[in-house]
Amino acid sequence: MKRTAGESRPLVGLLLLPLLLCPATSTWAAEAARDGVAPLAALLEAIPPLTSPLGQRPPLFLWSPELPVTASDAQLETTLRALQARGLCLFLRWQPDASNTMTQLRRVAGIHKKLGLPVAVDATPVSHGLFPKADSYSHVGQDGKPFRGSGLSWNPGCPCRATSRNDAVRGRIDSYARAQQAAELPLDYWISDWELDGPNEWKQSWAAARKCVTCCRQIPDIATNFAAFQAVVRQLRAEMQRENFVRPVQACFPAVRIGNYAMNPHDGYRYYWDYYEEDAFGKPNLTDGIAYRREQGAYYRPWWRGEFETSGYNLAAPVIYAWYHLFANYAFTNTDYRWFYGMLLEGSSAARHTPANTPLIPFLHGMPIGAPDKTSDRPVGFAPLNAAMFKELVWHLLLRGADSFILWAPGDEVRELQPLQAAYAESLAYQEFFEKGTPALFDLPDQPGVVVSAMKWNGKLLVRRTDFADPAAPVIIPLDGKQLFVPVAPGRCQVLTLE
């Protein structure tokens, strides 16, 4: 479903408490080590408090660092207030140690509740184990013997023999949700990074299934029809998430926003390869018979549409990372555009197809993943996306419909958070556009040129224009039967009207 004019924006945030509650930043250096908040100290010193309230918009979520659970109660609350003042929120983690998890939940979520901060849970540590290792879930050869052979690290079994419900995982998720509910703690966001565990169609998975008598019986044209095999795999994968994650959590928290890494509505293609899907960083694993879309050196993969919807998720979490292959596969002489283009392709696919009432909160990472360590092994001209262009990327994602982000930058949070939070903070000056507006543009040029994104509200457009080629000149974009005239405006937004 496309975000369309007239639909209201999702209201997924909580009110920011008065900013005056934020302590002076000098507090951190003096007290951080003693009070167990050292990993956060540099971040809190480097990132300024917001000067406008978040209103109804969600905070920015940080996958790392960890919450300072060893801090004193007073310092923990002070730290959470400081994060809140900066528009930031960390995840509480459901850990295998249930007793310790609940102790921390009561303490930390209790303060979140008191401050009006959303409670966001990362359930990754307790989400795995969905595809059992037993032979009864493996493919079956012509000789009747079980086998696996996906080439993937977890070597999933037969998608035609596994069932969607897994009582061990479901029971674990259910017990945490019930315990959190019993403690009268809220649960506003539930996210998992569940990837390496379920049915999967990539690497040698299709080749293995074609040798399986069960798969061949249930998917008669499996030898030539990758799409049919993919549909079986992705359907089961989505049902596993629905039965074992979504339903038990929603039974206790019907209003929770729930999602998983890389689960989002899209246009039928995936524009990147995750690290475990490649043969090596930058080297996609290509299979004859799969209808890739080629662009320069990039291979876009067909992706089953319905995965997000079948799972029952209501929070879209696409992955917008600076994978090394983006730089390696595009030949643009403007090297920033290699990253920018690949990342915004994926972001635009998600944004264009995510319904207006579904929060869109991408996982975001701006520094290269998987680039060769040795300079001599890197392509000529190799350079990361610079911070100013990363900030531009954030702006375009916001104007295309991103409601917030989950920053994944372990150990490097400050470098990535500075441009991200700066863009988000600036966007608060245009609150009505983001709370009530509708994204109007999703295109981007296939050569470095002018990228324009816009949010439409009340007869006006909040517009960001970023130029990747000289000379810069005004552009005219047809929109709603009229024309949008976009002057050059480096590093700032414009409020424009159609002519």
List residues binding Zn ion (CB under 5 A): 139, 158, 160, 212, 214-215
Angle at 351 between CA 345 and CA 354, to 5 degrees: 140
Report the Cα–Cα distance between both ends of the chain, in Å, rounded.
Answer: 28
Q: Which is nearer to Zn ion, 218 or 494 (CB)?
A: 218
Facing residues of 479 across strands? 482
Q: Which is nearer to Zn ion, 164 or 181 (CB)?
A: 164
Nearest-approach distance from CB 230 to Zn ion, in angstroms:
14
Nearest-approach distance from CB 208 to Zn ion, in angstroms:
7
Q: Which is nearer to Zn ion, 157 or 401 (CB)?
A: 157
Nearest-approach distance from CB 211 to Zn ion, in angstroms:
8
Asked if 460 and 498 touch (Cβ cutoff 8 Å), the reply is no
| Helices (H) then strands (E): counts for the chain | 16, 22
Alpha carbons 85 and 50: distance in angstroms, whole number: 6
Q: Which is nearer to Zn ion, 160 or 407 (CB)?
A: 160
Q: Which is nearer to Zn ion, 139 or 257 (CB)?
A: 139
Nearest-approach distance from CB 158 to Zn ion, in angstroms:
3
Spell out the SS3 assignment of 313-325: CCCEECEEEEEHH
Q: Nearest 5°: phi and psi at 257?
A: -90, 120
Residue type, 395: W
Q: Which is nearer to Zn ion, 125 or 151 (CB)?
A: 151
Nearest-approach distance from CB 161 to Zn ion, in angstroms:
6
Maximum pairwise Cα distance, the chain: 72
Burial 102-135 (b: 16+ CB within 10 A, else e): bebbeebbbbbeebebbbbbbbbebbbebbeeee
Q: Which is nearer to Zn ion, 217 or 283 (CB)?
A: 217
Asked if 284 and 325 touch (Cβ cutoff 8 Å), the reply is yes
Q: Which is nearer to Zn ion, 160 or 425 (CB)?
A: 160
Asked if 363 and 261 touch (Cβ cutoff 8 Å), the reply is yes
Cβ-proximal residues to 390 (8 Å cutoff; 6+ apart), any chain:
366, 416, 419, 420
Alpha carbons 139 and 68: distance in angstroms, whole number: 45
Q: Which is nearer to Zn ion, 141 or 490 (CB)?
A: 141
Facing residues of 302 across strands? 269
Nearest-approach distance from CB 344 to Zn ion, in angstroms:
38
Alpha carbons 304 and 311: distance in angstroms, whole number: 13
Alpha carbons 359 and 384: distance in angstroms, whole number: 29
Name the token pair of 341.
């283009």
Nearest-approach distance from CB 218 to Zn ion, in angstroms:
8
Nearest-approach distance from CB 290 to Zn ion, in angstroms:
18
Nearest-approach distance from CB 140 to Zn ion, in angstroms:
7
